Amino acid sequence: MKKFTNTINTWAMALVAGVVLISCDKDLLETVPNDRLSVDVFWKSENDARTAVNSIYLDLDSTNIISWDAMTDIAHTNQNFNVEAYVELGSYDATSAKVYNEWRKAYRGIGASNYFLDNVDKVPSTNTALINQFRGEAKALRAYQYIKLIGLFGPVPLVTSSLTLEASRQLTNTPVEELWDFVDKELTEAAALLPAAYAASETGRMTKGAALGLLARANLYAGRFQKAAAAADLVIKSGTYSLYDSYQKLFTYAAENNREVLLDRQFIKDTYPVNVFQLLAPYSQKNSQSTFVPTKALVDLYETTEGKKITDAGSGYNPAKPYLNRDPRLKYSIYLEDDVLPSGIAFKPQPTSGTADAIGSTYIASTTGFNIKKYINNEDYGNPVNSGINIILLRYAEVLLTYAEAKIELGQVDASVYNAINAVRNGRTDVKQPDVTSGSQAALRELVRRERTVELAFEGQHLFDIRRWKTAEMVMPGPVYGITYTNAQGQLVTAEAVAVNKVFDATRHYLWPIPQKELNLTPTLRQNVNW
């Protein structure tokens, strides 16, 4: 159900309309600010509190999480004039629009949370549980933004209340460990305030499980593995969540709001849509944009159905038939040669195919010959900019892999670790990779990292993973490769994106620069090293 999303959109418009009406009345202008809702007219009821907390959800991430993967080895920004392409090529700096937009969006969400938490106690209510729930939602949503900011920028300002103009000009960088302490405390408090579930009409709100799942993610990012494992274990043992039966259908309308989803950004066709179909689908699908496309580096990570890497001796991998006998998640995540597209035609990306999707047929067609399949639904073909599919931000499979990775790093490998990994590998009816039953710490570390990469591809985790693993400098640099096909001379050829050479400078690219606009406005901020 998507009533909650519809309600958010309606109430957000009401908030804006209220401000506009105030600003149009000259008498009121003298007493009521026209850039916010004054305490003189707001914070008078529980409904005001609900309206305010609902508005914070508008700053959750959406399709931008897919762009994060395109700035790693597993995907590629298809058009070289997009701002993400400059990050891939290492030709960005503190003036980059991508860098600034991610900063601005996160702090806008933090500001909305701060404003709510600063004022919610003004609401006259005897329903303490409800007000505490709202408070928990705001805290968890604020922590969500800080997890992202720390992962992207490192030591950012910690802002926990609404700022005056003068105070905003005196912000300083908060040490990363202090930021992680704040996030840990914030999510622990939020989890204690939030319910395990809501009525169907409230689906999409932050729950106790979502707060704990974010707590597990935050501590994994921070390298606090004991805390990460403990938080993930609480989610696992809650019994609230489970893997959705079909990976193939996980990102379809039929699977929305299933028991695997802990947190998502909800959308409604016609009312509150998202353009994910147009953004990702192959060009033949009503001139969709192929904005971000998978790479050969990702495709090669999927095991064979026997559980072997394609580079292993005896794997049976055949470069002439590269998709035969592979982990089913490959074909469920990526459009491959001859797949049926939403329009009913076959996907034909080979340069000689003569189709709209042929490499080189247009600058919009995928330069790797691969397209993202997640979130591309037949129902959206008629109007590609009007999708109502929810964008998943946290799901149970990630929690299982977080638990397994944390325990492996702690050297605490037991049956629960294998159970978590194997649930992801074969806990669905359409994904049945062989069980993992043993391995050294190094071997299990490699395996769980590969599982995270293929299981969560295009879900916004890989950029943060290769940063914390400190592997970006090894996997990122170099050309971008795509499909392998047989050319007119009968030779096997691997497609290569023209004039693309990804760059990663280990001396500075593990963090983005603080946006120059922020440094100009706040001279007390310190720029990241080597920027």
Q: Residue 403 and residue 420: Cα distance in Å, rounded?
A: 7
Nearest 10 degrees: Cα torsion 379, 381, 385, 391? 50
Q: Residue 28's pLDDT is what?
A: 29
CB-based contacts of 363, cutoff 8 Å, min separation 6: 79
- Pairing state between β 292-294 and 75-77: antiparallel
Q: Provide the sign of the torsion angle of the four alpha carbons 121, 126, 132, 137, taken in this order.
A: negative
CA–CA dist 420, 8 (Å, integer)? 35
**Confidence tier at 2 by pLDDT (50, 70, 90):** low
Strand partners, 274: 387
Q: For residue 261, what is the enclosing H or E element?
A: strand 261-265
| Mean pLDDT, residues 428-432 taken together | 98
Give residue-wise pLDDT tens across range 323-357.
999 999 999 999 999 999 999 999 999 999 999 99
The predicted model gives 291-303 an average pLDDT of: 98
φ, ψ of residue 103 in degrees (nearest 5): -60, -50
| pLDDT-based confidence at residue 31 (cuts at 50, 70, 90) | very low
pLDDT band, very low/low/confident/very high, at 41 (cuts 50, 70, 90): confident
* 3-state SS assignment for residue 64: helix
When pLDDT is cut at 50, 70 and 90, the band that residue 390 belongs to is very high
Q: What are 294's strand-pairing partners?
A: 75
DSSP single-letter state for residue 340? B
Greatest distance between any 2 Cα atoms in the chain? 81
Does the pLDDT of residue 1 top 90, yes or no? no
Q: What pLDDT band is residue 21 in, cutting at 50, 70 and 90?
A: very low
Q: What is the pLDDT of residue 37?
A: 59
Mean pLDDT in residue range 466-479: 98
Record the tokens describing residue 389, joined without a space: 């599919």
pTM over 0.85: yes
CA distance 287 to 273: 18
What span, in angstroms and rounded, lies between the C-alpha atoms of 208 and 219? 17
Domain locations in the chain?
1-42
**d(Cα 412, Cα 433) in Å, to the nearest integer?**
24
- The pair of three-digit structure tokens given for residue 356, joined into one six-digit string: 């709209």
Residues 91-147 have pLDDT tens digits of 999 999 999 999 999 999 999 999 999 999 999 999 999 999 999 999 999 999 999
Of 27-41, 79-93, 103-117, 242-256, the poorest mean pLDDT is in: 27-41
283: enclosing H helix or E strand? none
399 or 39, greater pLDDT: 399
**Cα–Cα dist 337/332, whole Å:** 13
Mean pLDDT computed over 83-87: 96
Residue 249 has pLDDT above 50, yes or no: yes
What are 50's two structure tokens?
């609900």
Mean pLDDT of the chain: 94
Please state the rounded mean pLDDT for residues 448-475.
Answer: 98
